[in-house]
Amino acid sequence: MYRKFVPVVIALLVFSACSKEVEEVDNYDPARDYFTFSNTGQFATDHLALDLNVDFEAQELRGFAMLSMRRLEPAATEIVLDTRDLTIASVVVLQDGNTAPAEYRFGDTDDTLGTPLYIAVPEATGEQFDLMIEYHTSPQSTALQWLPPELTAGGKHPLMFSQSQAVHARSWVPLQDTPAIRITYEATVRTPAALLAVMSANNDPLTPRTGEYHFEMPQPIPSYLLAIAVGNIYFAPLGEDTGVYTEPELLDASVFEFADTQAMLEQAEAMFGPYDWGRYDLLVLPPSFPYGGMENPRLSFITPSLLAGDRSLVSVIAHELAHSWSGNLVTNATWRDGWLNEGMTSYIESRLMEVIYDVKRVDEERVLMYRELLLDLESVPEHMQALAPRLDDTTSEDFQGTIHYSKGQLFLEYLENAFGREAFDQFLASYFKEFAYGTITTERFLDYLELNLLSQEDSPVNREQAEQWTYQPGLPEGVAIPQSENLDAAAAMADAWADGDVELEDIPFADYSPQATIHFINSLPADLSFAKLAELDAGLGLSETRNAEIGRTWFIQVASRRYTDAYEAMEAHLNRFGRGRLIAPVYRALAANGEDLELAREMFARARDAYHPITAGWIESGLANAMD
Ligand code: BES
Ligand code: ZN
């Protein structure tokens, strides 16, 4: 989730969204999804049935998508679907047992949005009908990564996985690719015999490994939650309703690391209402998975970089689980309202972590998050610092830094402080009930907040104050700045050690959490000598750390300080991980240190084949925009 590599995108947004006056005359509609071609006011999809063959040799999915459609406007006779790099073999309309070929054509391709597919459905087709589309994907599908055996843990079988959020479902299924539409789905997936397919649907842990798998997702979901993975994947239970899928080589480590998943699920239900999705499982993917996690319903996709051996990075699991309520049950209406998915999820993640672990640990994470937010506020242009910014026809994926995560969380913490935990928990539980299986805009959220909390007598917060958070840049007054005594102590130690007032062996690192170690590293003064860096590296084993977040922090420092003794280890880090957050900022620090842009490009060229195209894209645009 690293978002700093998009100055070009941001520049475009600045250019197209200058002043309020312009907004008023140019028909900008905050409730419209600008990231779809589909005409959802005229037609809606209710159900999707997929029948797909997984061809590792051709790196293609091939088969049929049947869309059950409803005509909302009687006069509308053309459906627009989203596609990207899809080859369509035929389109057939099925209605009341009759089939008829449909006329179709592609429109012009847009880099961000893909290619619209226009399908003629004359009035005679009636109000409800099915579209049967025969198609195959391209090896360039932006959603799919096809990994050769060498890039898996086992090294013997290939593996394929999808990442649909935000606008990539269209590169493996032709559909209305917008959170405005919710669909149920079913799928038949055929794979090479030894492999297992899993989806964001009802995975049966005991399913026979026949090479033909059936899935059903009876709850309606937005398209960005469609997900599939195929590989040499096995299952192990974590609790009664929870478990983990991964390659056999990672199974034991995953069972250990994520042992608290069942407890997290039960705690979330106690706080926010029933978990409505059946089982909750994790899929631990190879290192090239571009994110920490992705909340695919019933089956979160997870980076293996969480396997630190000490459960110190499992807040990502709490986060993806929390999305079962904030995001999957109540979904942001458009990507402009992304804070309602991510900010609310970050808030719930912290609340869960407080109960499962303790508040001190969570306060440490809050302080680290706040530090990243302040850095982002330095680089994200002002109009993009609103929780709900003006967001139109440019990429939805990289526009706001971590702002909708951390500023969103701080907004909800501000409300919680103002109204009290009990009242705010009740508010959230009723919000999830009220909007379940629906979508929500920022404006509707504010209305609901006003109705239930702000309008009460002597309310400590008024609508204007709430709107400061959603529409204004920076941080409003009254924000509760996260504090952690443990991290303050670590920062003080960093100073004292840098000044020579304390010896390294006298610092109680053994008692430090990974978060405290991270804060210690981040707090070192800019002019620290290389001799001191060497002492620290040797003393704490930073270059060899098993903790990916400590490694990230260390190698950002190594790169920005040009501590070349650790460059070899840094390159090993860049090759070991493919999660954007862990590597993109290291490349950026290298490119920005005044000497190593060329070296960053060389290291990227050596590593890039193993990276996911999404991650490679972030790094590439970062390096392209760096000053020579
Ligand atoms: N839904 C996001 C990942 C995402 C966001 C994918 C936007 C595509 C577009 C996921 O839930 C997430 O937030 N992942 C974070 C986890 C972290 C904040 C705990 C990540 O990957 O770092
Ligand atoms: Zn998230």
Identify any residues that bridge with 83 across adjacent strands, giving them in sequence order: 115
Instruction: Tell me if 165 CB under 6 Å of ligand 1.
Output: yes
Q: Which two tokens stand for residue 336?
A: 């402009």
Cα-to-centroid distance, 460 and ligand 2 (Å): 29
- Do residues 367 and 359 touch, judged by C-beta distance below 8 A? no
Q: Ligand 1: does its nearest atom lie under 6 Å from the Cβ of 316?
A: yes
Mean pLDDT of 593-622: 96
Can you spell out the DSSP letters for 473-519? SS--TT------HHHHHHHHHHHHHHTTSS-GGGS-GGG--HHHHHH
Tokens for 525? 């003064």
In angstroms and rounded to an integer, the radius of gyration of the C-alpha atoms of the chain is 25
* Residue 405 alpha carbon, nearest atom of ligand 1: 18
Distance 316 CA to ligand 1 centre (A): 9
Which ligand sits nearest to residue 2's alpha carbon? 1
One domain for residues 288 and 369: no
Is 295 close to ligand 1, i.e. is its CB under 6 Å away? yes
Shared-domain flag, residues 537 and 599: yes
Q: Is there a single domain that holds both residue 134 and residue 159?
A: yes
Helix (H, G, I), strand (E, B), or coil: what is residue 184?
Answer: strand
The answer to the question of residue 455 being in a domain is: yes
- What separation in Å is there between the alpha carbon of 451 and the centre of ligand 1? 30
Q: Which ligand is nearest to the CA of 296?
A: 1
Q: Is residue 410 part of a domain?
A: yes
Residue ending a domain, among 268, 283, 318, is: 318
Within this chain, do residues 227 and 145 fall inside the same structural domain, yes or no?
A: yes
Q: Enumerate residues 6+ apart whose C-beta is below 8 A from 217.
A: 184, 185, 186, 199, 200, 201, 202, 297, 298
CATH number at residue 594: 1.25.40.320
Q: Is the CB of 519 under 6 A from ligand 1?
A: no
User: Which residue of the set 185, 405, 587, 611 is catalytic?
Assistant: 405
| pTM recorded for the entire structure | 0.95
pLDDT at position 627? 65
Domain boundary among 301, 318, 335: 318
Residue ending a domain, choose from 271, 298, 318? 318
* Within a domain: 33: no
Clarify whether 405 is annotated catalytic: yes
Confidence at residue 422, expressed as pLDDT on a 0 to 100 scale: 97
Indicate which ligand has the atom closest to the C-alpha of 166: 1
The pLDDT-based confidence of 621 (bands split at 50, 70, 90) is confident
pLDDT in tens, 2-60: 333 333 233 333 333 333 334 445 788 999 999 999 999 999 999 999 999 999 999 99
CA of 342 to the centre of ligand 1 (A): 8
Helix axes 442-449, 463-471, angle to 10 degrees: 160
The per-residue pLDDT for 28 is: 87
Give the mean pLDDT of the chain: 94
pLDDT for residue 394: 55
Taking the C-alpha atoms of residue 40 and residue 177, their distance in angstroms, rounded to an integer, is 10
Nearest CA to ligand 1 atom 8: 165
* Rounded distance from Cα 376 to ligand 2 centre (Å): 17
Ligand 1 pocket residue status of 320, Cβ below 6 Å: yes
The reply to whether 414 and 465 lie within a common domain is yes
Q: Whose CA is nearest to atom 11 of ligand 1?
A: 294
350 lines ligand 1 (CB under 6 A): no
Q: Over 70: is that where the pLDDT of 307 sits?
A: yes
Could you tell me what percent of the chain has a pLDDT over 90? 91
Q: How far is the CA of 536 from the centre of ligand 1 (A)?
A: 32
Ligand 1 atom nearest residue 319's Cα: 19
Note whether 292 and 244 are same-domain residues. Answer: yes
Q: Is residue 494 domain-resident?
A: no
Give the chain's domain count. 3
- Backbone torsion region of residue 524, taken as left when φ is above 0, otherwise alpha when ψ lies between -120 and 50, otherwise beta: beta
Atom 13, ligand 1: which residue's CA is nearest?
342
pLDDT of amino acid 401: 76
Query: 510 alpha carbon to ligand 2 midpoint, in Å?
Result: 31
Distance from C-alpha of 290 to C-alpha of 316, rounded to nearest angstrom: 14
Which helix (H) or strand (E) element contains residue 21?
A: helix 20-25
Ligand 1 atom with least separation from CA of 316: 19
Residue 486 Cα, ligand 1 centroid: separation in angstroms? 27
The catalytically annotated residue of 60, 295, 320, 349 is 320
Pocket mutation for ligand 1, best pick of 145, 200, 294, 349 (most atoms within 8 Å of C-beta): 294
Distance between first and last Cα of the chain = 26
Same domain, 339 and 311: no
- Assess if residue 238 is contained within a domain: yes
pLDDT score of 80? 98
Residue 481 within a domain: no
Assess whether pLDDT exceeds 50 at residue 149.
Answer: yes
Answer yes or no: is pLDDT of 534 > 60: yes
Q: Which DSSP letter does residue 326 get?
A: B
Question: Are residue 290 and residue 415 in the same domain, yes or no?
Answer: no
Provide the domain limits for residue 399.
325-471
Using the atom order of ligand 1, give the atom closest to the CA of residue 402.
18
166 within ligand 1 shell (Cβ under 6 A)? yes
CATH of the domain at 238: 2.60.40.1730
Collapsing DSSP to helix, strand or coil, 173 comes out as: coil
Residue 400 maps to which CATH number? 1.10.390.10
CB of 342 within 6 A of ligand 1: the answer is yes
The answer to the question of residue 310 being in a domain is yes
Q: Which atom of ligand 1 is nearest to the CA of 397?
A: 9
Which tens digits make up the pLDDT trace of 371-408?
Answer: 999 999 998 989 899 999 888 765 445 567 789 999 99
Residues 82, 79: Cα–Cα separation, whole Å: 10
Distance CA 149, CA 251 (A): 17
Between 474 and 2, where is the model more confident? Answer: 474
How much is the pLDDT for 390?
82
- Decide: residue 19, CB within 10 A, 0-12 exposed, 13-18 middle, 19+ buried: exposed
pLDDT tens for each residue of 219-249? 999 999 999 999 999 999 999 999 999 999 9
Atom of ligand 1 nearest to the CA of 165: 8
Q: Are residues 308 and 361 in the same domain?
A: no
Q: Tell me which residue has its CA closest to atom 22 in ligand 1.
A: 292
Residue 521 lies in a domain: no
Pair 148, 220 in one domain:
yes
**Is 431 designated active site?**
no
Q: CA 49, CA 132: separation in Å to the nearest integer?
A: 9
579 lines ligand 1 (CB under 6 A): no
Q: Do 72 and 167 reside in the same domain of the chain?
A: yes
Q: What is the mean pLDDT of residues 81-90?
A: 98
Residues 371 and 456 in one domain: yes
CB 608 within 8 A of CB 616: yes
Q: Is the pLDDT of residue 447 over 80?
A: yes
